[in-house]
Amino acid sequence: MNGIKLKSATTLRDPAELVAHGLAPAAALSGLEKVAARYAVAITPDMAALIDPDDPNDPIARQFVPSAEELVTQPGENADPIGDHAHSPVAGIVHRYPDRVLFKLVHVCAVYCRFCFRREMVGPGKATALSPAAYAGAIGYIRAHPEIWEVVLTGGDPLMLSSRRLAEIMAELAGIEHVKIVRIHTRVPVADPARISGDMIAALRVTGAVTWVALHANHARELTDRARAACAALVDGGIPMVSQTVLLRGVNDNPAALEALMRAFVECRIKPYYLHHGDLAPGTSHLRTTIAHGRQLMRDLRGRVSGLCQPDYVLDIPGGHGKAPVGPNYLSPANSVEQHKSCSPEREQREETRYRIVDYCGDVHFYPPKP
């Protein structure tokens, strides 16, 4: 495979540039300009170098090269598909779960994913970051709520901030007594690994809180040598990492692709964390799979790779109701006998529900086994 070699080390942001570099056909230019007027476009040199221009179904291109299909909004798609607004008490904060908040610091990214669930909140005509007043209000909210144990920095991509500014923010959060965990959600280590400098790593390490980095990657090819070196620098710097992946049609919706990706994460000392079902963001239906297909993929993955490589397959329930695991259920009652809370231990053991359980090969077993 020969990826795109950019004429300069600059990020591609304009449909005409995509056409000039062979990432899109000239005949599509008019439609892509309409997409770019609504949704942000950016492909870094590192990502462009991975795209095979001779493959019409290239999995990297499907993630970042815009398509006229994005202009088609299907029923049920929503500009705020996971209900951020309903749980935003002050600007920049989403407080959906009791012990943690999302802190949306910036509204820019190194690359813009074509399936982004916040695509209506970033890009053309949108603010690039919180105003100083909004930032102060968000910090004040975190200070005023002692139940907040974890702050998740998101956006946009928080690692688009300068090391100096990020160090200030991290120190301020770590100085709040009840904040013990700061989690960074980012694509930067794969999209622009040069940004993971010694200064950046130093900015992420703070006294008073533990920093975690959640890396978003969807295909094993994203974990290049440069990306792996950036991740190694973070882990060697004392920052544990987990992964986030979105299940995408034509990108990773087959067992071999998921297997390769999850193994690549583990090889990089990144624990697979979430496999997200695609959100109902406008213009993203061409990239979504069905939940039934996702559940089957999780069954396939269970039989192919180590437990270290198993993510949780989750659905962010539309309307802001949070994430729910939707992976396959291997356990179901095999009879109608239920345990009774008032039973003696002997009777409880004797009348325990018998279960039907399916192993990774699809074979059925029963627990407890018949005497």
Two tokens at 360?
């990774």
Based on the residue annotation, tell me whether 343 is a catalytic residue of this protein: no
Based on the residue annotation, tell me whether 100 is a catalytic residue of this protein: yes
Active-site residue (options: 46, 157, 253, 279): 279
Q: Do 287 and 249 contact (CB within 8 A), yes or no? A: yes
Active-site residue (options: 113, 231, 268, 309): 113
Active-site residue (options: 323, 330, 355, 356): 323
The number of angstroms, rounded, from the C-alpha of 366 to the middle of its chain's C-alpha atoms is 36
Active-site residue (options: 58, 116, 253, 268): 116
Active-site residue (options: 62, 114, 118, 183): 118
Active-site residue (options: 97, 135, 273, 330): 97
Output the furthest CA–CA distance in the chain (Å, rounded): 77
Active-site residue (options: 62, 100, 119, 302): 100
Active-site residue (options: 58, 62, 80, 109): 109
Whose CA is closest to 168, among 218, 120, 132, 122? 132
Based on the residue annotation, tell me whether 118 is a catalytic residue of this protein: yes
Based on the residue annotation, tell me whether 316 is a catalytic residue of this protein: yes
Based on the residue annotation, tell me whether 370 is a catalytic residue of this protein: no
Contacts of 128 (CB under 8 A, 6+ apart): 106, 107, 108
Two tokens at 165?
């500014």
Task: Give residue for tokens 């192919």.
Answer: 304
**What is the 3-state secondary structure of 334-348?**
CCCCCCCCCCCHHHH
Q: Could you give the CA distance from residue 83 to residue 197 in angstroms, rounded to a whole number?
A: 35
Based on the residue annotation, tell me whether 249 is a catalytic residue of this protein: no
**Residue numbers annotated as active site:** 96-97, 100, 109, 113, 116, 118, 279, 316, 323
